[in-house]
Structure 1
Amino acid sequence: MNAALDAGMLAPQAARRTRLRDYQAQLLERMQAAQSGSGATLHQLGVAIGGERYLLELTEAGEIVPPPALAVVPLTQPWYLGLANVRGSLMGVIDLARYLDPDTSAAGPDARLVSLAPRLGINCALLVTRVHGLRRPGAMQEEGNRLRDAEGHAWTPLSLAALVRDERFLHVALAPRR
């Protein structure tokens, strides 16, 4: 009976050691990639915006949270949803699907806010239709400006740093009428 108990206790310990070894190997791979400068494309955040899938650089994205209550700001673009208090920080919220295509919206039951990384210098969060989690672009096939994963889904890389430099993105106020 003691041998059976010992064997039953050893199996979970062996499984934990295997998971720990796997985690350490992944961590080592990430550290080596970061030191060689290739870490930016090791993993990216996969999101749906409207009906399209996009890849965001992890270094450009911040927190991911469910959409909180918004304070509407009058006389702003239809894609500017208002202001949200996210963990004590006031952030402008952009419906990225509507920004890209005025006839669509990212709102829905799976919608999330993805805040921009502080290094981008703008207190803003993007409403995305759904967060798909981490993706490995290196394991995908290139097809022009898009990537295709093993399941056949097309992904478009989206630079949040380029987005925050876009004049249209920076001007949320409606143009005054003349």
Structure 2
Amino acid sequence: MDQTSRDKPATSLDRTRPDAGLRRTRLREFQAQLVERMQAAQSGARVSASQLGVMIGQVRYLLDLQESGEIVSAGSMTKVPLTKDWYVGVSNIRGNLTSVVDLARFEGRDVTNLDHSCRVVAFAPSLAFNSGLLVSQVLGLRNAAEMEEQESSDGGIRPGQKPWIVKKYRDRDANIWTQLSLAALVQDQDFLHIGL
């Protein structure tokens, strides 16, 4: 590096590059960690009760890694006519047409707004159900063992009220997490009937 390049003030572009590079590195590390844990979960190896944390609408959910599949961008989905409003459409995930459902709307809440942070979490192949959930945001891995199990006294969804809701937890930051069973969800008759 010559003297002139060292004395040159950093431009705004130069200042943003390390952050972008750092974000890419963190994303790669997160993806590698997620793949490693999902493979461990699928092989039956003991994983310290980690689950995938996602936000659907304004509700935080925990998804079992053995029931969760690939996470992809929610960018291109094709609407299907004469379907219920919670059925978002179909998406091509690695050559497979995957139906995408807005769980928030299915449960009677507001429609999940599609934006740049939205993703589709596909169901694991072991469930033999070619579907995925539209999520507002992927929040990373969470350990339910480090959370406090909650009795629902706040008027919210209670475990057992809907068969796909397993438990509710409160984390150290007082956030409430709802453990979701995708295996139970795919057996629900209302979930299976998407037509009007």
Could you tell me the TM-score, scaled by structure 2's length? 0.67
Summarize the alignment of residues 94-173 of structure 1 with structure 2, pairs less than 5 Å apart.
Answer: 94-144=101-151, 145-173=167-195
Match of 1:56 in 2: 63
Letter in 2 for 1:164: V
Is the partner of 1:64 in helix, strand or coil? strand
Q: Does residue 92 of structure 1 match 2:114?
A: no
Letter in 1 for 2:86: W
Letter in 2 for 1:107: L
Question: What is the aligned-residue RMSD (CA, Å)?
Answer: 2.2
Is the partner of 2:101 in helix, strand or coil? strand
Is the partner of 1:103 in helix, strand or coil? coil
Q: Does residue 43 of structure 1 match 2:50?
A: yes
Q: 1:49, 1:106 within 8 Å by CA — same for their partners in 2?
A: no
**Cα separation, 2, equivalents of 1:105 and 1:84:** 16
Letter in 2 for 1:173: G
Give the % identical residues: 45
What stretches of structure 2 of length at least 5 have no aligned partner? 1-32, 152-166
CA apart distance, 1:71: 1.7
- How many aligned positions are there? 143
Q: Does residue 67 of structure 1 match 2:65?
A: no
Is the partner of 1:138 in helix, strand or coil? helix
Query: Structure 1 stretch 91-100 or stretch 56-65: which is displaced more?
Result: 91-100
Q: 2:57, 2:136 within 8 Å by CA — same for their partners in 1?
A: yes
Q: 1:66, 1:111 within 8 Å by CA — same for their partners in 2?
A: yes
**Cα separation, 2, equivalents of 1:45 and 1:103:** 23
Q: 1:96, 1:106 within 8 Å by CA — same for their partners in 2?
A: no
Match of 2:16 in 1: none
Match of 2:26 in 1: none
**Cα separation, 2, equivalents of 1:143 and 1:106:** 28
| Residues 157/83 of structure 1: CA separation in 2 closer, same or farther (3 Å cut) | same
Letter in 1 for 2:191: F
**Cα separation, 2, equivalents of 1:171 and 1:106:** 23
**Cα separation, 2, equivalents of 1:94 and 1:46:** 17
**Cα separation, 2, equivalents of 1:88 and 1:46:** 26
